[in-house]
Amino acid sequence: MGGLAMLAQTVTRPVLAGEHRPIKPGRDSVLIVVDVQNCFTAGGTLAIKDGEEVVPIINRVGKAFENVVMTQDWHPRGHASFASSHPGKKPFESVQLSYGKQVLWPDHCIQGTTDAALRTDLDLPQAELIVRKGYHREVDSYSAFMEADRRTSTGLAAYLNVHGIRDVFVVGLATDFCVANTAIDARAAGFDVYVIEDATRAVDLNGSLAQAWTDMRKAGVKRIQSTDLVLPA
């Protein structure tokens, strides 16, 4: 892989249709690690199937990035996204809230709990910012950029712009909810956006994964694999 990457950097050759050129993150790139928390992995309150499998891949990919931002789902008790806050409703049903349709979840990622903590096996010591989201009781936030009311900004776009970031790479959990919403909002904020598919895992509720990829493609999000990146040896 290292040899191939060097060849790609030093040899000019025509790019054939369908051929992938290795992608080398630069100083103007950021890796956004979405919600790699105990709650979304084995033993958590909203465990995503094989969610923990993303950790070693993210650790490997992370070595290519000088800029790393992590997000943390961070709900108060009684949050509007919890089925338990809506009498008669069960997890994975939907409800209409002031800002539109909201999927209901089991109670998860409650502020200050071990369940809400980031996975301790994440090895990203250079991570410079943790964006907590979903902390307003009445509003959920799948996206790291914009809460579900579509009006309340997290401030992340401004932060990335101030730091000269142009390319955003998104990994984490879950592909079809917080990863997809983060990637689409990053496009809306004017960044070039890549989702590293093998460093994500999905909920896939009623076809939500296929829909998420359709929505991301329409928004101009690029779908890549970790093997498409030039990683340090």
- Residue closer to Zn ion by CB (options 73, 185) is 73
To the query of whether residue 133 is one of the catalytic residues in this protein, the response is: yes
Catalytic residue, chosen from 35, 73, 140, 176, is 35
Which region, judged by CB under 5 A, interacts with Zn ion, from 86-94, 115-123, 133-141, 213-221? 133-141
- Residue closer to Zn ion by CB (options 89, 163) is 89
Catalytic residue, chosen from 39, 107, 109, 133, is 133
Helices (H), the chain: 2-10, 54-62, 156-162, 180-188, 208-219
Backbone CA torsion sign across 44, 174, 118, 84: negative
CA angle in degrees (0–180, nearest 5) for 108-206-200: 60
Q: List the x/- string, 64-83, binding to Zn ion by CB under 5 A.
A: ---------x----------
Catalytic residue, chosen from 109, 167, 178, 185, is 178
Q: How far is CA 138 from the centre of its chain?
A: 22
To the query of whether residue 35 is one of the catalytic residues in this protein, the response is: yes
Question: Is there binding between residue 35 and Zn ion (CB under 5 A)?
Answer: no
> Which residues, in sequence order, are bridge partners of residue 153?
146
| Single-letter amino acid, residue 137 | R
* Cβ-proximal residue to Zn ion, closest one: 73
- The helix (H) or strand (E) run that includes residue 201 is strand 192-201
Which region, judged by CB under 5 A, interacts with Zn ion, from 11-19, 62-70, 132-140, 156-164? 132-140
In the complex, minimum distance from the CB of residue 45 to Zn ion, in angstroms, rounded to a whole number: 10
# residues contacting Zn ion (CB under 5 A): 2
Quote the CA–CA distance of 212 and 177 in Å, as a whole number. Answer: 8
- Residue closer to Zn ion by CB (options 73, 176) is 73
Cβ-based neighbours of 207, under 8 Å, separated by 6 or more? none
Q: Which residues are catalytic?
A: 35, 133, 178
In the complex, the residues that contact Zn ion under the rule CB under 5 A are 73, 134
